[in-house]
Amino acid sequence: MRAPIAVALDAPDAETAARWARAVTPHVSVVKVGLELFCRTGPSIVDSVRGGSGAELFLDLKLHDIPNTVGGAVRSVARLKPRYLTVHASGGADMVRAAVDAGEGITIAAVTVLTSMSDQVLDSVGLQGPPIDAVRRLAALAVGAGAGALVCSPQEVAAVRSEVGDGVVLITPGVRPAGSDAQDQARVATPEQALADGADLLVIGRPITGAADPGAAAARIAAALPQR
């Protein structure tokens, strides 16, 4: 049994990412490969970080294009067998549906509003009102198009759970243990609070990978959470 944490392997190279993965996978259920690392190393990074650990793969590419292109991209990465693959809900229902249709065996996770975006940033790109309004609209749109998971900040997770019910996996980045620096995240919460509000999977990066001993940091955070 491992904690419901996806460790964000935002490493400078494949060797570092693999070392972090080996250190944390005894304690967490998922490792996350983001866009920067995937573009730097290519698909081979998946085997490097997955190894023989049995940890699930979260491929966080945040696809956003016309439906046909996104469907083709999902088919291209399906051979890597990720458990989760992200697309932007703001690409619209047809785009999300194209990803779902192309991703047999993959849980498509629709990103609602990035956790780095404040009220002011949302307003500047034309999404008026507080983030929760945009998050709820995009969550309902994505689930209606077949998305099996949603990515939202921990500050909106309770409202999203109320909006979409219990059958959808809620993934929350912007999770910071008490006392940690929020860094470039605008909407954050502790792991315990995020789970209490209805999150299923917590994305945690720098509080673990930036520690002197990532394995020990993962074990410490995991020990305070229910095992799943």
Catalytic positions are 62
- Please state the separation of Cα 61 from the chain's center in Å: 10
Q: Which helix (H) or strand (E) is 218 found in, with range?
A: helix 214-223
Distance (Å, whole) CA 103 – CA 80: 11
Name every residue whose Cβ is closer than 8 Å to that of residue 56 and which is 6 or more positions away in sequence.
Answer: 29, 30, 31, 83, 84
Q: Which helix (H) or strand (E) is 196 found in, with range?
A: helix 191-196
Name every residue whose Cβ is closer than 8 Å to that of residue 126 and which is 6 or more positions away in sequence.
Answer: none
Paired sense of beta strands 107-111 and 3-8, if any? unpaired
The DSSP annotation for 14-49 comes to HHHHHHHHHHHTTTEEEEEEEHHHHHHH-THHHHHH
Phi, psi of 129 (to 5 degrees): 95, 175
Distance (Å, whole) CA 89 – CA 61: 13
Return the closest-CA partner of residue 48 out of 63, 35, 62, 37.
Answer: 37
Q: Degrees (nearest 5) of the Cα angle 116, 110, 45? A: 80
